Structure 1
Amino acid sequence: MSVEAPVVPAGLIVPGGAPLYAPDVFRPVYRPIQGERWRLDVAPLSLCPGYWSGVQVVTDMAVLTRIHGEGADAGLRTWMSMTPMEIESQELGCRAATGHTVVMGLGMGWAAANAALQRQVTAVTVVEFDPEVIGLIAELGVFAQLPPEATAKITVVEGDAFAWTPEIPADTLLADIWIPLDGDGRVAQVQGMRANTGASKVYFWGQEMVIARRAQALGLPLDTATVARIVAEMDLPLIGPEVSDYPDKIERAADRWLRRE
Structure 2
Amino acid sequence: MSEQLPPGIPRFATDLFVPRYRAARSGDWELRVAEMAISPGYWSDPVLVEQMAVLVRDGRSWMSLTPFELESQGLGVRAAAGHVLIFGLGLGWAACACAALPAVSEVIVVEKDADVLALHRELDIFAQLPSEARAKLRVLEGDAFSYRPDRPVDLLLPDIWLPLVNDRRVEEVRAMQANVGARAVHFWGQEMELIRHAVAAGRALDTSGIDATIAATGLPLIGMGDPDYAAKAETAARRWLRGRWLPGSAPPW
- Compute the TM-score of the two structures, normalised by the length of structure 1: 0.90
Aligned partner of 2:44 among 53, 57, 64: 53
- Which residue in the other structure is 1:70 paired with? none
Q: Deviations over 1:4-63 (max 9, x none)?
A: xx33543x1x4xx12211111111100011122110011011011100101111001110
Displacement of 1:220 in angstroms is 3.1
Q: Is the contact made by 1:162 and 1:193 (CA closer than 8 Å) also made in structure 2?
A: yes
State the shift of 1:114 in Å. 0.8
CA shift at 1:244, angstroms? 2.1
Q: Distance in 2 between matches of 1:212 and 1:8?
A: 39
Partner of 1:7: 2
Residue identity in the other structure for 2:178: A
Identity %: 50
Matched with 1:250 is 233
Once residues 224 and 156 of structure 1 are traced to their aligned partners in structure 2, the CA distance between those partners, rounded to angstroms, is: 36
Q: Does 1:195 align with 2:186?
A: no
SS in 1 for 2:186: strand
Report deviation, 1:221. Answer: 2.6
Matched, 1:168 2:151: yes
Q: Is it true that 1:235 corresponds to 2:218 in the alignment?
A: yes
- Asked if the contact 1:182/1:257 (under 8 Å) is kept, the reply is no
Superposed CA deviations along residues 155-214 of structure 1, whole A, max 9, x for unmatched, are 000000011111112111011001111221111111111121121100000010011101
Correspondence for 2:22 among 10, 27, 31: 31
| Distance in structure 1 (CA, Å) of the matches to 2:41 and 2:220 | 25
Q: 2:12 is matched with which residue?
A: 21
1:59 maps to a residue whose letter is E
1:148-187 equivalences in 2 (<5 Å)? 148-187=131-170
1:108-148 deviation line (CA, Å, top 9, x unaligned): 00001111112121111000010111121221121110110
**Does 2:85 match 1:96?**
no
| 2:56 equivalent in structure 1 | 65
1:221-245 deviation digits (Å, cap 9, x = unpaired): 3101101110011011111224321
- Name the aligned partner's letter for residue 7 of structure 1: S
Query: How many residues are aligned here?
Result: 244
SS of the aligned residue for 1:204 comes to: coil
User: 1:8·1:45 contact (CA, 8 Å) conserved in 2?
Assistant: no
Give the 3-state SS of the residue equivalent to 1:248 in structure 2: helix
- State whether residues 207 and 226 of structure 2, in contact with CA within 8 Å, keep that contact through their aligned partners in structure 1: no
Which is further off, 235-244 or 184-193? Answer: 235-244
After superposing on structure 2, the runs of 4+ consecutive aligned residues of structure 1 that deviate more than 3 Å are none
**Matching residue of 1:3:** none
SS at 2:138 equivalent: strand
Q: Note the aligned Cα RMSD (angstroms).
A: 1.2
- Equivalent pair of 2:211/2:225 in contact (CA under 8 Å): no
Distance across 1 between alignment mates of 2:10 and 2:232? 19
CA distances 1:58-91 after superposition (whole Å, capped 9, x unpaired): 0011100013xxxxxxxx1111000000010011
C-alpha distance 8-243 of structure 1, shift in aligned 2 (>3 A):
farther
Instruction: For 1:137 and 1:29, locate their aligned partners in 2 and report how far apart those are by CA, in whole Å.
Output: 13
Q: Secondary structure at the match of 1:78?
A: strand
Aligned letter for 1:37? Answer: D
List aligned pairs for 1:105-120, cutoff 5 A: 105-120=88-103
SS at match of 2:163: coil
Contact 1:99 1:123 in 2 (8 A): yes
* Partner Cα distance (1:242, 1:34) in 2: 43
Query: 1:220 pairs with 203, 220, 238, which one?
Result: 203
Unaligned runs of 5+ in 2: 245-253
Which residue is 1:208 aligned to?
A: 191
